[in-house]
Structure 1
Amino acid sequence: MDEEEISKQVSSLIWDLSAYMTNEICPNCLDSNLRLTLEAGKERPIIKFCDECLYTGVNDKYTKISGDLVPATKKIVESYLKFKLRLQRR
């Protein structure tokens, strides 16, 4: 295995471990759960991303993203989870 392949595998592993996966199924492919991400260098909006079909959505609507995606911060994930919990209690 060459260095480039090892680098790709390490990068993929870091993504899998650091990007929070929701319990929401992708509305596009219906095959994978969505991850919470952000556009690099920005704190808003939260972008939901599908690893399988590369769907990107904001406020549950498909949105084309031009920049790189990074995992949502712990603070943003906590905020998202609190919001979802409030919705469930209604």
Structure 2
Amino acid sequence: MNKEIIQLYKNFDNNKLPLFFEKLILFINNHDKIFRKYILEDSLNSIEQFKESEFYLGTTDDNLEGLALGYSETLIGADEKEICGNVIHMIWDIATFMTDELCPSCQDANLKIASSTDRNNIYKTCDNCLITMENGQFIERPKEMIPATKEQINS
């Protein structure tokens, strides 16, 4: 598992982001039993069904190439829990749509659009200060959130 994810990260190419995203989803599916130990069930069930065409990939201001390179080095010797958490975070970084709207709380980052795992609720959230809003109101951050799809963002 360890060597496999490190190699996947080392082969990251920003110009082939959809392919990389699909390979991350395949990695999760191939190691489903291990991911089930550490990732919340509803989130994992949703993520395992993700298709790259459903998302606006790479809209954040994150340096995805730098993240992948850094992760390829920091995951050497990592345990299963660290790998699972890391891969889920990478999926989040790639698939979550970043708005042009500055966080009203910290004024330090733009808001991202997330969804409940059942796709019924849309949230705006800040990765920096972790505030979460639904319908313009601040709410307690849900235990499980996934990136919103293109369809959800466009509605």
TM-score by length of 2: 0.46
CA distance in 2, matches of 1:25, 1:58: 16
Structure 2 unpaired stretches of 5+: 1-76
Is 1:14 the equivalent of 2:105? no
Cα 1:66–1:14 shift into 2, 3 Å = closer
CA distance in 2, matches of 1:8, 1:53: 19
Paired position in structure 2 for 1:68: 144
Deviations 1:52-77 (A, max 9, x none): 11100022221124441111122011
Paired position in structure 2 for 1:4: 81
Structure 1 unpaired stretches of 5+: 80-90
- From 43, 61, 66, the equivalent of 2:120 is 43
Deviations 1:4-53 (A, max 9, x none): 32222221111011111111111111111111111221423x21011111
Deviates further, 7-16 or 61-70: 61-70
CA distance in 1, matches of 2:82, 2:142: 26
Instruction: Choose 1 or 2 for highest CA Rg.
Output: 2
Paired position in structure 1 for 2:101: 24
TM-score by length of 1: 0.74
Higher strand proportion (structure 1 or 2):
1
CA distance in 1, matches of 2:142, 2:87: 24
Is 1:59 the equivalent of 2:132? no
Equivalent pairs, count? 78
Deviates further, 48-57 or 67-76: 67-76
Of all paired residues, the percent bearing the same amino acid is 37
